A and B are shown apart, each in its own frame.
Chain A
Amino acid sequence: MSANKWLATGNFFTTYKQEQRTFLTNLDQSFFTLFLVLLFGWPLLFELSNKSMLVIDNILIAIVAVMGLNLVTGFAGLISIGHAAFVGIGAYTVASFCRTIGDSHIIITHFWPLLIIFSGFMGAIFGAIVGLPALRLKHLYLAIATLSFQMIFQWVINFMSFFNQGQTIFVGRVFWFTGKVGRKDHYVFWYFVILTVVVILGFGIRNLLKTRYGRSLIAVRDNDRAADAMGMNPGLTKVYAFALSGFFAGVAGALHAYLYRGVGFESFTLHESIGYLAMAIVGGLGTLNGCFWGPVAIKFLDLQVESLAELAGQYLPSSMNLATALKPFTFGLVIVLFLMFEPRGIANWWRIAKSYTKKWPFRY
């Protein structure tokens, strides 16, 4: 490696250990640390309304879920049209605790970090079960298998009285070291929690992709027979990709349950699954920073369309509900346009911008 630890002029790795570094240079590391400090610090300086804080929390939860989806669809190449059901498994794990031991039992209010991790493992178990057809099926058939899991999940939630027939199941307020998290601090508190989860899981994926377990996912995506010949076990890898994605989804679901302080059926429908897929595609399938761009882009688009519809609605007869029409329209349009003109997603723009600024002003 070059002696200069702050600026990299090329690739001078001589050992695998050097290549596995998280940051290439110290400059990258300090920029990233500064970025994290800003992310954690700004809520202490500015105070946003609960409504906008909720939007930000929502985006962060979507980021966690899309990370899981990107692992299975982007990196392992297995199409999953049932991701919202996995998120639902996580949320309903918390909800079933609330139903059996009461919604302000000490396990739910004090040991919530454990419960979130437990929900992740429940998601992983279901992911592995749903991933079993991946041993025999590929491509479209597998996509339809996950679709049927989504539909069965919706039916189970809607028709079981244990799950309150899909009506809201309340989740109690949690405690922190400073005491009960009140109404005023609720969204800021969960912002910090979810951001921590995002950072931990993001580093998790980044490191995973540098180990044999992550590389085997990509190998199986690109050519599973070649991967088999190289001594990997494609069947096991596929099931494990589903389990891993289920873990992320389960964590996202548990966070969703705590953030909204309730679990309802309508957050885990087929429509939401398609939304997660759209986020993964708009962000960029098979890239880590795509997991961040996609949810941000889609959620902001949704907000903008909503306010546009509200603005235009003043000049139109009230019988026309512009928001319900414009939302699916723009959503579909964005997916189609991205797939036709930029299939590699926003992550590709980021890559272009980065390589441009790196060499600026010397373009060649």
Chain B
Amino acid sequence: MSYFFQIVVSGVVVGSIYALAALGLVLVYKSSRVANFAHGQIIAAGAFITYFLTVTVGIPIFFSFLASMVITFFLAMSVERIFLRRLIGEPIISVIMVTIGLGSIIDGLIYLTPFGTENYSFPQFLPQAPLTLGGVSISWTQLSGVIITFLLIGGFSWFFKKSTVGISMRAVSDDQFGAMSVGISVPRVFGLAWATAGLSAAAAGCIIGNITGLNFDTLHSFGIIVFPVVILGGLDSILGAVVAGIIMGLIQQFASGYLDGNWGLNGTGDVMPYIILLIILLFKPHGLFGVHEIERV
């Protein structure tokens, strides 16, 4: 039984990371209807900036965490300003390919630095011994990661519910012309959506880096795995991203915990999200909490 609960715990840990990573994608899609295929690269960039500031420059990790969030905030904002604003109204294939191309450019820039090929890990600042409770253990890094994730998601929800900027962002996602007519600058909101997405990506990158170590391939693969999560949750729902993130984490951990090694299966944790994704797309394409906007032929 403790095996079962251990899987539940690690599923929630992985799932909350997915939720945070998916949040950035949802933010961008919600306001500007752009699916950002470069999200994984922004996550990796955030994590590496934090590492650089902490280890090479020597700033305390908490401050470098905040600094990298600020840097990716402006990075993502300028990406929107330079590349994506020209493509408003272009066909969806162009928008998708531009984000893929941007991801490839960031890939190249990261490969120029030593971060591209080697493994690093953040300095330890939490107790090493895991926290054990009734046979189920969770390490302090994981626990703090989950707590920070939920704090951040709570903060984002508050931001969207209460603050003026958040309300204008929701207004734009609801009806662009309506938002324009009450004096909201739609392009500025697009920029802000990208910027907040960059900010959350940096946070996600730091938390992933703390738990799994800094490896470029692992970090940028998160940019692809978030697609099953956001589709399950509904592409434009923040609540959906959180719920679906945790569900996906649980599914993944249960698959690799119970299916691997039986019936000659292996690595099912990697493929399960995509199988689930196909099933959702066939039967409930708008996801759990998404807006019904699917057109049928």
Given the interface contacts A136-B282, A151-B271, A155-B270, does A336 sit within 8 Å of B98 by beta carbon? yes
- B296 adjacent to A136 (CB under 8 Å): yes
Does A55 have its Cβ within 8 Å of any Cβ on chain B? Answer: no
Complex Cα gap A336–B114 (Å): 25
Q: How far is the CB of B44 from chain A (nearest CB, A)?
A: 13
- A328 adjacent to B105 (CB under 8 Å): yes
Does A325 have its Cβ within 8 Å of any Cβ on chain B? Answer: yes
Complex Cα gap A251–B184 (Å): 53
- B274 adjacent to A135 (CB under 8 Å): no
The interface residues of chain B lying within 8 Å CB-to-CB of A216 are: none
The interface residues of chain B lying within 8 Å CB-to-CB of A139 are: 92
Q: How far is the CB of A229 from chain B (nearest CB, A)?
A: 12
Does A143 have its Cβ within 8 Å of any Cβ on chain B? Answer: yes
Complex Cα gap A232–B220 (Å): 42
Number of interface residues of A (CB under 8 A): 56
Count: A-B pairs, CB below 8 Å:
152
Given the interface contacts A144-B277, A152-B275, A332-B103, does A325 sit within 8 Å of B294 by beta carbon? no
The interface residues of chain B lying within 8 Å CB-to-CB of A134 are: 297
- B83 adjacent to A73 (CB under 8 Å): no
Does A91 have its Cβ within 8 Å of any Cβ on chain B? Answer: no
The interface residues of chain B lying within 8 Å CB-to-CB of A137 are: 281, 285, 294
The interface residues of chain A lying within 8 Å CB-to-CB of B274 are: 147-148, 151-152, 155
Complex Cα gap A143–B96 (Å): 9
Interface residues of B in 212-266 (CB under 8 A from A): 224, 227-228, 231, 235, 264-266
A328 contact from B86, B94, B104, Cβ within 8 A:
B104
Given the interface contacts A139-B92, A339-B87, does A278 sit within 8 Å of B285 by beta carbon? no
B224 contact from A224, A270, A325, Cβ within 8 A:
A270
Q: How large is the interface on B (under 10, 10 to 19, 20 to 34, 35 or more residues)?
A: 35 or more
- A141 adjacent to B271 (CB under 8 Å): no
A325-364 contact mask (Cβ, 8 Å, vs B): 1 or 0: 1111111111110011001000000000000000000000
The interface residues of chain A lying within 8 Å CB-to-CB of B103 are: 332
Complex Cα gap A81–B267 (Å): 22
Q: How far is the CB of A254 from chain B (nearest CB, A)?
A: 25
Does A281 have its Cβ within 8 Å of any Cβ on chain B? Answer: yes
Does A28 have its Cβ within 8 Å of any Cβ on chain B? Answer: no
Given the interface contacts A141-B231, A159-B266, A270-B224, does A325 sit within 8 Å of B108 by beta carbon? yes
The interface residues of chain B lying within 8 Å CB-to-CB of A140 are: 35, 92, 96, 235
Q: How far is the CB of B22 from chain A (nearest CB, A)?
A: 13
The interface residues of chain B lying within 8 Å CB-to-CB of A158 are: 267
Does A285 have its Cβ within 8 Å of any Cβ on chain B? Answer: yes
Residue of B nearest to A140 (CB): B35
Does A202 have its Cβ within 8 Å of any Cβ on chain B? Answer: no
The interface residues of chain B lying within 8 Å CB-to-CB of A79 are: 92-93, 96
The interface residues of chain A lying within 8 Å CB-to-CB of B80 are: none
Does A324 have its Cβ within 8 Å of any Cβ on chain B? Answer: yes
A-B contact pairs, 6 of them (CB 8 A): A136-B297, A148-B281, A152-B274, A278-B97, A335-B104, A343-B94
B residues with a Cβ closer than 8 A to A are 35, 83, 86-87, 90, 92-94, 96-98, 100-109, 111-112, 114, 116-117, 224, 227-228, 231, 235, 264-267, 270-271, 274-275, 277-278, 281-282, 285, 294-297
The 4 closest A-B pairs by CB, nearest first: A329-B108, A332-B104, A335-B101, A325-B111
